[in-house]
Amino acid sequence: MTDRDAEAILAGTVTSTQVKFSPTLDLESGAGLGFWRTSAPNIEGIRFTMAIDRTAVAGWAGRFSRPAQSVDQRTVFARWLDEFLAAGGDLRIAVPSVTEVDRAAADYDLTVVTRASRELAACFDNDPAWTVPPEPQRRLAVLYLDGVRPEPHHLGCYTALPEHGEVISYPGLTGRPGQERRCEIVLFEARPGGALDVFDQHGTPSQRLRQAKQLIDQHLPAELAERYRDAELTDAGATLVGAVTPVMRRPVGTLPSGRPVLGGGDVVCRMDPGGAQGANNAVQCAIRYAEAILHHPGGPYDRDWMEWTAAPWLSAVAHPAARWTATVLDPPPAMREMMLAAQHDSTLADAFAAAFARPSNLARFTADALP
C-alpha cells in the first residue's frame, strides 16, 4: 500500500539525494533489483573541501574500496512498483487512517510500516535510549541538474562552509525507466538562519536554480563554482526544499486495537541526508526483514519476533548510521582534527570515505569522535 502509483511518482518532484554504497548495491543486485548497476555513473570517492570566503583552506580526496552510485528515486520506485505488479503483487493506492490500517492488519500475518502520517507514527514510541535534536539541524535544498561539468576523478564533492553549512554534489542518473540519463545532484545543507538558508518552500524551480547558482558563486572556490556555470534543471520536478527532524523510535508499534506492527526505514530511524545514510538504511532494513521472514516462513510474526527481527538491523546499521550523521553535521574536536590531518594522510582520507559506506567503521579510528 502506497500513496502514488508509478506514473504519479514519475510526474512528481524529486524525493531525496540518495547515494547508495557498494554493500547496499550488492543487496539490491542479489535481490534482482539492481537494474542500474552498469548504467549509473560511478562515484569513486569523496573530495572534501573546507572553504572560507571562496578560498579552500583545507582539502583531501578519499577513495571508496568500490564505487557508490545514485539513481533518482522517482526512477527507482517507478521501476520497482512495475516489477512488483508484473510479479503478481497486490498494489493498493491509498493513504489510510490509523483505524483503516488497524482493520487491514487483522487480515494479514504481518504488517510493516515504512512511511507514516503523524497519527500512525504516534503508534511507535520514541526510543528512550536516544537523545535526538527536537528541531532540524539543517534547512535543505535539492536540485537535479543538467550541464554540470563532471568532476574529473569521478568523485562526489563535499564542501564545508564553516558557520554556514555544506554543499554536497555528485553524479547520478535520472529519467523515466528506459530513458535514464546522467545528471548532477546538488544538496545545500544550510544552518538555520545562515548564509545558505535562502530557499523558500513556495519558490518556483527557476527561482531555486537562480538562488543555487548565486550561492555557489558567492561561497565555493572558483574552480568548483565554474563546474556549475551552465547548469540547468533536469525537469520541472527537479527541486525540493524542506528540513528533516531526526527521529529514533522503537521498532514495534501498537495499533489502537493492541495489535503490534513492525516499523522500518524512516519510521524508526530518520536522519538528515547530509550523512548519506537514508537510502542505504532503508534497503538494509528491507533485506534483513525479508531474510527474517524466510527464516521463519510459518510465523508466528508476533511482537517477540518483531523485536528479534529489528534488533540486528538497528544495532548493525541504523544506530551506527545515526551516530555517523550526527558526527558529520557537528564534528567534535577530535573529529575536526582528524579531518584536517587527512590532508596529509591518504590512508586517513580513505578511512573517512569508507565510513560513509560503513558507518560502523568510524569507531575503528577513534571512539572519542563519536557523540
Poorest-confidence range of 103-107, 132-136, 137-141? 132-136
> In the prediction, which pLDDT does 369 show?
43
- Give 134: exposed, middle or buried? Use CB within 10 Å, 0-12, 13-18, 19+: exposed
> Which residues are CB-contacts of 182 (< 8 A; sequence separation ≥ 6)?
41, 171, 172, 173
pLDDT(367) > 70: no
pLDDT(370) > 80: no
Report pLDDT digits (tens) over 152-186.
999 999 999 999 999 999 999 999 999 999 999 99
Contact criterion met (CB below 8 Å) for 167 and 187? yes
Report pLDDT digits (tens) over 299-339.
999 999 999 999 999 999 999 999 999 888 888 888 888 88
Contact criterion met (CB below 8 Å) for 333 and 339? no
> In the prediction, which pLDDT does 371 show?
43
Kindly list the domain boundaries of the chain, sorted by start residue. 6-15+42-73+134-243
> In the prediction, which pLDDT does 23 show?
94
Q: What's the mean per-residue pLDDT of the chain? A: 94
- Per the DSSP assignment, residues forming a β-bridge with 62 are 46
pLDDT(64) > 70: yes
Per-residue cell: 278: 537514508
pLDDT(35) > 50: yes
- Give the long-range contacts of residues 175-180, CB within 8 A, separation 24 or more: 175/72, 175/75, 175/234, 176/10, 176/75, 176/78, 177/35, 177/75, 177/78, 177/79, 177/82, 180/36, 180/39, 180/40, 180/71, 180/75
- Which fold does the domain 6-15+42-73+134-243 belong to in CATH? D-Amino Acid Oxidase; Chain A, domain 2 (3.30.9)
The whole-number average pLDDT for the span 49-74 is: 96
pLDDT(140) > 70: yes
> In the prediction, which pLDDT does 103 show?
95
Give 363's pLDDT tier (boundaries 50, 70, 90): low
Contact criterion met (CB below 8 Å) for 24 and 279? yes
pLDDT(366) > 50: no
pLDDT(230) > 80: yes
Report pLDDT digits (tens) over 110-122.
999 999 888 999 9
